[in-house]
A and B are shown apart, each in its own frame.
Chain A
Amino acid sequence: MKINEVVSLEFLAQMINGLSLGSIYALIALGYTMVYGICKMLNFAHGDVIMVGAYMLSVAMGMLGLPPVLAILLSMVVCACLGVTIERIAYKPLRNASPLAVLITAIGVSYFLQSSALLIFGSTQRKVESAINVSSVQLGELTIGGNALVTLLLTIVLMTGLTWFINHTMTGKAMLAVSEDKGAAQLMGVNVNRTIATTFLIGSALAAVAGVLFISSYGFVGPYTGAMPGIKAFVAAVLGGIGSVPGAMLGGILLGLIESLSKAYISTQLADAIVFGVLIVVLLVKPTGLLGKKRTEKV
């Protein structure tokens, strides 16, 4: 029995598309969820870090002529430094401020990054050559594109690494401790400021990878490139249960699949509406998200 008699080839191809798109959302969502877990804040500038990562790739490969792997590493380093700097300058002074002040600041940082990109690179979208030069793989009658393949593999490696890191290193344990009780963690000698900076560093480096992968399939980068994937990844993080690392992974993948399948079988124009509709339905049924835990406040 041939595989296309069971499920259509097109469906499989769409699933792979969805998984690869979902992996990118998941990588970005990790940044949202980790920062939320630790600082209880929504870093709306996170999406724009993706844009910076994508521009960095374009600069490194196009203008500096670096090989792809070096260009990706450079992009990660720049974004990691950017994330830490943003936290240091914009969020750290507001550590004890009201959540609303922090939220508005995050939106401000987002506009700042977009406007800076507009000033430096102009409003026209730049073409970026793909950082991924892997030929597609033929599985029977199914073709898996090189981009999708690299995206999937890289995401699996990064997520496994991150999970191991959080559960098995002292830095990871400090992150868990800070996310649960900042005050108690500090009283136990955990350097809360450094732990938060590390979280921003890791989240932003992952966002850079997501930016590189996104731009490698999309082909163009502009000052607002990060906005849509950023907001979708935020939806993914909420869908999975914000604050939960496995939740962000699950939410991202699900969102990618829903988007890709809606585009293929329902309507390209309605795909985004369906994505956000799913979020609304999930939140109505389970307000904490799929893997989110109910927070009980002790009095």
Chain B
Amino acid sequence: MSTMLEVKNLGISFGGLRAVDGFNVNIEKGQLYGLIGPNGAGKTTVFNLLTGVYQPTMGTFSLDGENLTGKNTLEISHKGIARTFQNIRLFSKMTVLDNVKVGLHNKVKYSLASGMLRLPSYFKDEKFLNERAKELLDVFGLYGEREYLASNLPYGKQRKLEIARALATGPKLLLLDEPAAGMNPNETAELMDTIHFVRDEFDMTILLIEHDMKLVGGICEEITVLNFGQVLAQGKPADVLNDPKVVVAYLGE
């Protein structure tokens, strides 16, 4: 197995606050990895560092052997890291289909002119986009709702659409920021199946932030616990979740 994501000593300070400090992680290709920690531990900050939203003040990270430290959001997206958001950030005024097509944006190369003049390449690209979008929406059972506005989808389906949109960018690594937030137990169970399916079907490496311990323990093969920006524990869920340090961080002494 080869390493997909290698993070070395990554950190960022906001003024005097070290939001993330010396974060290390190695994620194998095809692994389902969990990142947990109390509120404010710096989990989403790690995602923002890995997607170029913030630039790290220390450390490096590389994807599939390529150093991506210092690259901007767009470059990182093109290199193959895609994400979803803690607060859903779909293009709510666009249709379900168009949301996925925006994710597919880079898969076609047609120019402004061919779109305006409706050259044959435009129709060829549109056909490709529609087929690819259908495949993705079918995976999540959303194709029937493709003409709905994204904002009109029920909450659980919006979460799924966000994953579909992220997959559309053709990533090597998928970052899921609290995918089960706000879901009921049934939806969470279904989501766990979906995440497993995505990993197997797309041969995807997945790093997810989650508070739902059942989900984390159920699907993650390995987890890292962050507390106050630092790694508290790392390893198999069964070991880590029973680690006294972790229990203290979550529940107090």
Contact = CB atoms under 8 A, between A and B. Distances in A.
B110 A170 contact: yes
Given A184-B91, A189-B78, A191-B74, A174 B105 contact: yes
B189 interface: no
A277 to B, nearest CB: 32
Contacts of A188: 77, 82, 102-103, 105, 165-166, 168-169
A183 B53 contact: yes
A218 B129 CA distance: 47
B93 interface: yes
B92 interface: yes
Contact of A189 (B53, B98, B169): B169
A138 to B, nearest CB: 35
Nearest to A192: B74
B153 to A, nearest CB: 15
Interface size class of B (residues with CB under 8 A): 20 to 34
| Interface-central residue, A170, A183, A189, by most chain B CB under 10 Å | A189
A186 B94 contact: no
Contacts of A180: 91-94
Nearest to A202: B112
Interface residues of A, number: 25
Contacts of B103: 188-189
A189 B105 CA distance: 7
B78 A165 contact: no
B63 to A, nearest CB: 15
Contacts of A198: 112
A95 to B, nearest CB: 12
Chain B residues touching A, majority SS: helix
Interface in A164-178: 165, 168-174, 176-177
Interface in B87-146: 87, 89-94, 98, 101-103, 105-106, 108, 110, 112, 115-116, 122, 125, 129
Contacts of A192: 74
Contact of A173 (B85, B94, B166, B168): B94
A283 interface: no
B77 A189 contact: yes
Given A180-B94, A186-B73, A187-B51, A170 B116 contact: no
Nearest to B165: A188
Contacts of A170: 101, 105, 108, 110, 115, 125, 129
A151 B159 CA distance: 47
A158 to B, nearest CB: 11
A177 B94 contact: yes
A171 B112 contact: yes
A190 interface: yes
Contact of B102 (A168, A183, A185): A185
B83 interface: yes
B96 to A, nearest CB: 13
Contacts of B89: 181, 183-184
Contacts of B110: 169-170
Nearest to B169: A189
A93 interface: no
Residue among B74, B85, B125, B166 with most chain A CB within 10 A: B74
Given A165-B115, A180-B91, A187-B83, A173 B77 contact: no
A189 B77 CA distance: 5
A170 B83 CA distance: 21
A171 B122 CA distance: 12
B91 to A, nearest CB: 5
A177 B102 contact: yes
A140 interface: no
5 contacts: A161-B116, A174-B102, A186-B73, A188-B166, A189-B105
Interface of A: 161, 165, 168-174, 176-177, 180-181, 183-192, 198, 298
Shortest 4 CB-CB distances between A and B: which pairs? A169-B115, A189-B77, A184-B89, A177-B102
Given A170-B101, A180-B94, A189-B77, 14 more contacts: A168-B115, A169-B116, A170-B110, A172-B115, A173-B102, A180-B91, A180-B92, A186-B73, A187-B53, A187-B83, A188-B77, A188-B166, A189-B169, A190-B102
